């Protein structure tokens, strides 16, 4: 049975805690909304991932797009992880966090000439090239350089993946990767290039995948290509299998590091070279929460609204992917039932039923959970059960918001970019200050 709360994010005495700090006490010091992370949870995730993959000699490159806060990147670096980057901006951050160039992989379907040059000059360990056109540009740029670069061709293995349509990337017709026959001809065409080391194949088939089957299928397709190339005398010395490992957002579905590591290790037993993965979400998502306050409980017909001070600009995933982030109260003292303070068993519930399984029906009201932004899509959840005692001023917390949340935030409606806070035991550290309108207006004339 899986639990949605963890050893590091849990209830104690009706108070939601992150490590040794209650959310309420943190919110006394830092105005809501803000993102808050558990350092211990992050380190636990990294350790689990390393234990699962490093046993098989598989290298881990953190897909830093999931959360590229400098403090978090430094932790990843201290733990010996490399990074998977998708822009010169990410490369700048990785460098600032002290990540060595020989642990940087550059992915992305539309790298600009400037970005390619910067990466060549930085001396990164691998370019994951996504088109014939990108490879041609890289080859022409290499006329100006002497140090060779390592190339992996990102293959589009054309596998179906059961996840949200906006986050599948390895199916025919997606903009990502290169189709199999073209991969072969590009590999052959550039095999003898003096400065392009045609080194490997790469894939990334999507995100929030909760099943090992598509990995198995996609790796088999990659290995078919490896066999063909090696039979022709070329060497494929690395396979980058991307990320995408799903986490439990409240419906009990996830892909454990152990399961996917075993699948990858088994599928690649006969492969004679380096295997790399690029997890993002699975390392950081459940280490983070978004803390917000109720501005109003708007009683209305035909539905009532819980209007929070957080909005779609702070947490975009519900508007963009219809994602549900479980919402819980930071303090359940006033509720009839103190059941929220017990462990929440996600396998028993769909995330939208999170509160209802713990509180008696009579103690619940169904609300649309919304933010203050002037858009109807500024809706976090519809018909969501919360305690009928919920009132203005209460702190409400979205769980599993460590990945693809803060990084996707914007300042729409001239709202501040909200702070990020790291908790380590009883220490509260602001790892990104609030970015205010005064800060932003400095760049405008």
Q: Pairing relation of β-strands 196-202 and 427-432?
A: unpaired
Interface stretch with ligand LLP, choices 4-12, 129-137, 237-245, 355-363 (CB under 6 A): 237-245
Q: Is 34 in the site for ligand LLP (CB under 6 A)?
A: no
CA distance 172 to 217: 14
Residues 62-81 that bind ligand LLP (CB under 6 A): 63, 66
Pick the closest to residue 223 from 210, 243, 241 (CA basis). Answer: 241
Binding residue for ligand LLP, selected from 280, 371, 385, 402, defined by CB under 6 A: 280
**Contact track, ligand LLP, 153-192, x by CB under 6 A:** --------------x-------------------------
Q: Is 245 in the site for ligand LLP (CB under 6 A)?
A: yes
Q: How far is the CB of 210 from ligand LLP (least distance, A)?
A: 11
- Residue by residue, DSSP assigns 59-111 as EEEEEGGG---HHHHHHHHHTT-EEEE-SHHHHHHHHHTT--GGGEEE--TT-
Size of residue set near ligand LLP by CB under 6 A: 20
Phi, psi dihedral angles at 419 (to 5 degrees): -70, 165
Q: Is 120 helix (H, G, I), strand (E, B) or coil?
A: helix
Select which of 21, 125, 374, 405 is catalytic: 374
Binding residue for ligand LLP, selected from 279, 318, 326, 419, defined by CB under 6 A: 279
Q: Is 415 in the site for ligand LLP (CB under 6 A)?
A: no
Q: Is 278 in the site for ligand LLP (CB under 6 A)?
A: yes
Residues 95-124 that bind ligand LLP (CB under 6 A): 107
Q: Is 207 in the site for ligand LLP (CB under 6 A)?
A: yes
Catalytic status, residue 374: yes
Residues 286-345 that bind ligand LLP (CB under 6 A): 317, 321
CA distance 429 to 353: 33
Angstrom distances, CA of residue 249 to CA of 35, 172, 189, 254: 17, 28, 45, 8
Q: How far is the CB of 209 from ligand LLP (least distance, A)?
A: 7
Pick the closest to residue 318 from 146, 177, 185, 166 (CA basis). Answer: 166
Nearer to ligand LLP, 147 or 165 (CB): 165
Q: How far is the CB of 287 from ligand LLP (least distance, A)?
A: 13
Binding residue for ligand LLP, selected from 204, 254, 325, 432, defined by CB under 6 A: 204
Nearer to ligand LLP, 67 or 341 (CB): 67
* Other residues' Cβ atoms within 10 Å of the Cβ of residue 366: 17
Q: Is 134 in the site for ligand LLP (CB under 6 A)?
A: no
Q: Pairing relation of β-strands 379-387 and 395-398?
A: unpaired
Contacts of 46 (CB under 8 A, 6+ apart): 75, 76, 79, 81, 283
Phi, psi dihedral angles at 79 (to 5 degrees): -85, 0
- Residue by residue, DSSP assigns 163-212 as S-GGGB-SSTTSSSSB-HHHHHHHHHHHTT-SSEEEEEEE---BSSB--S
Angle between the N-to-C axes of helices 88-96 and 70-78, in degrees from 0 to 180, rounded to the nearest 10? 60
Q: Is 371 in the site for ligand LLP (CB under 6 A)?
A: no
Binding residue for ligand LLP, selected from 282, 351, 387, 409, defined by CB under 6 A: 282
Q: How far is the CB of 396 from ligand LLP (least distance, A)?
A: 20
Q: Is 243 in the site for ligand LLP (CB under 6 A)?
A: yes
CA distance 214 to 168: 11
Catalytic sites, residue numbers? 374
* Binding region for ligand LLP (CB under 6 A): 63, 66, 84, 107, 167, 204, 207-208, 242-245, 278-282, 317, 321, 404
């Amino acid at each position: 049975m899986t639990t949605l709360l963890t050893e590091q994010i849990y209830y104690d005495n009706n108070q939601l805690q992150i490590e040794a700090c209650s959310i309420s006490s943190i919110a006394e010091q830092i105005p809501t909304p803000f993102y808050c992370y558990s350092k211990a949870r992050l380190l636990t995730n990294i350790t689990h991932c390393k234990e699962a993959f490093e046993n098989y000699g598989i290298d881990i490159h953190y897909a830093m797009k999931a959360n590229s806060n400098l403090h978090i990147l430094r932790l990843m670096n201290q733990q010996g992880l490399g990074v998977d980057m998708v822009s010169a901006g990410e490369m700048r951050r990785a460098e600032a966090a002290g990540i060595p160039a020989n642990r940087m992989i550059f992915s992305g379907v539309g790298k600009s000439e400037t970005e390619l040059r910067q990466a060549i000059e930085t001396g990164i360990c691998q370019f994951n090239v996504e088109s014939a056109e990108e490879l041609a540009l890289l080859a022409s740029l290499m006329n100006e350089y002497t140090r060779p670069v390592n190339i992996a061709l990102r293959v589009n293995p054309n596998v179906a993946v059961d996840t949200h349509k906006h986050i599948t990337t390895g199916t025919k017709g997606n903009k990502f990767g290169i189709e199999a026959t073209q991969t072969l001809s590009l590999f052959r065409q550039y095999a003898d290039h003096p400065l392009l080391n045609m080194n490997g194949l790469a894939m990334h088939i999507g995100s929030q995948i909760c099943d090992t089957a598509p990995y198995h299928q996609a790796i088999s397709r990659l290995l078919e290509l490896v066999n063909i190339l090696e039979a022709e005398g070329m060497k494929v010395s690395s396979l980058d299998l991307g990320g995408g490992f799903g986490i439990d957002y409240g419906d009990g579905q996830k892909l454990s590091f152990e399961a996917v590591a075993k699948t990858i290790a088994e599928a690649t037993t006969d492969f004679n070279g380096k295997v790399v993965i690029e997890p993002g979400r699975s390392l950081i998502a459940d280490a983070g929460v978004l803390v917000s306050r109720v501005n109003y409980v708007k009683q209305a017909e035909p539905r009532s609204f819980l209007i929070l001070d957080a909005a779609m600009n702070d947490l975009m995933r519900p508007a963009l992917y219809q994602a549900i982030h479980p919402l819980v109260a930071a303090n359940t003292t006033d509720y009839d039932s103190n059941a929220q303070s017990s462990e929440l068993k996600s396998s028993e519930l769909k995330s939208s039923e999170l509160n209802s399984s713990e509180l008696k029906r009579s103690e619940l009201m169904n609300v649309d959970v919304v933010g203050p932004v002037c858009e109807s899509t500024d809706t976090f959840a519809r018909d969501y059960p919360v305690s009928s005692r919920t009132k203005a001023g209460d702190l409400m917390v979205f769980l599993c918001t460590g990945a693809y949340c803060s990084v996707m935030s914007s300042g729409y409606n001239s709202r501040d970019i909200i702070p990020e806070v790291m908790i380590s035991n009883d220490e509260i550290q602001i790892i990104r200050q609030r970015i205010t309108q005064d800060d932003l207006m400095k760049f405008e004339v």
